[in-house]
Chains A and B, each alone.
Chain A
Amino acid sequence: MTLGIGGLVTAYVLLAAALAGLNIFSVWSWPVKALMLMLTAAAYLTLYYSFPPLLGWPSDAELPKRFQLVALYAQEPDRFTGTRGRIFFWLLDKQMASGVPRAYEIDFEPELHARVKEAGQRLRKNVPQIGEVGADDPDLGRHGVPREEGKLGQKSQKMQIRFFDAPPDAPPSKEGLPAPGSDATAADLMQREQAVEGADRAQPSG
Chain B
Amino acid sequence: MNWGIVGVAFAYAFVLLLLAGLIFRTRWGWYVKGIFAVLVAALFLATFRSYAPLIGWPSKVALPQRFNLLGVAVEEPNKTTQTRGRIYLWVTDMEQQLGKHIPRAHVLPYTPQMHAKVTDAARKLRKSLPQLGEVAIGTNQATGAMEVDIQFFDMPDPLFPEK
Residues of chain A touching chain B, judged by Cβ–Cβ distance below 8 Å, are 1-8, 10-11, 14-15, 18-19, 21-22, 25-28, 36, 39-40, 42-44, 46-47, 49-59, 61, 70-73, 75, 78, 81, 83, 88, 90, 92, 99-104, 123-126
Contacts and interface: CB of A to CB of B under 8 A. Distances in A.
Nearest 10 A-B pairs (CB), nearest first? Answer: A71-B71, A50-B7, A56-B59, A59-B56, A53-B4, A7-B50, A55-B59, A4-B53, A59-B55, A54-B4
Nearest to A101: B73
A42 B13 CA distance: 13
B25 interface: yes
B117 to A, nearest CB: 17
Interface residues of B, number: 62
A6 B47 CA distance: 10
A81 B99 contact: yes
Contacts of B84: none
A103 B56 CA distance: 5
Interface string B26-67: 111000000010011011001101111111111111000000
B99 A50 contact: no
Contact of A61 (B3, B46, B52): B52
Given A47-B8, A56-B61, A58-B56, A71 B90 contact: yes
B70 A73 contact: yes
Contacts of B103: 58, 73, 88, 90, 103
B25 A26 contact: yes
Contacts of B46: 3, 7-8, 10-11
A44 B10 CA distance: 11
A21 B99 contact: no
Contacts of B26: 21-22, 25-27
26 contacts: A7-B46, A11-B46, A14-B42, A18-B40, A19-B18, A22-B18, A26-B22, A26-B25, A36-B21, A47-B7, A47-B8, A50-B5, A54-B2, A54-B4, A54-B5, A56-B59, A70-B90, A72-B70, A75-B99, A83-B99, A99-B73, A100-B75, A100-B86, A101-B71, A103-B103, A124-B126
B102 interface: yes
B90 A3 contact: no
B55 A52 contact: no
B102 A57 contact: yes
Chain A CB within 10 Å, residue with most, of B17, B55, B99:
B55
A52 B18 contact: no
A99 B7 CA distance: 30
B15 interface: yes
Given A43-B14, A99-B73, A100-B107, 4 more contacts: A25-B26, A52-B4, A88-B102, A125-B126
Contact of B27 (A25, A47, A123, A125): A25
B104 to A, nearest CB: 4
A159 B48 CA distance: 26
A5 to B, nearest CB: 7
B19 interface: yes
B56 A8 contact: no
Nearest to A21: B22
B21 A46 contact: no
A123 B70 CA distance: 12
A50 B15 contact: no
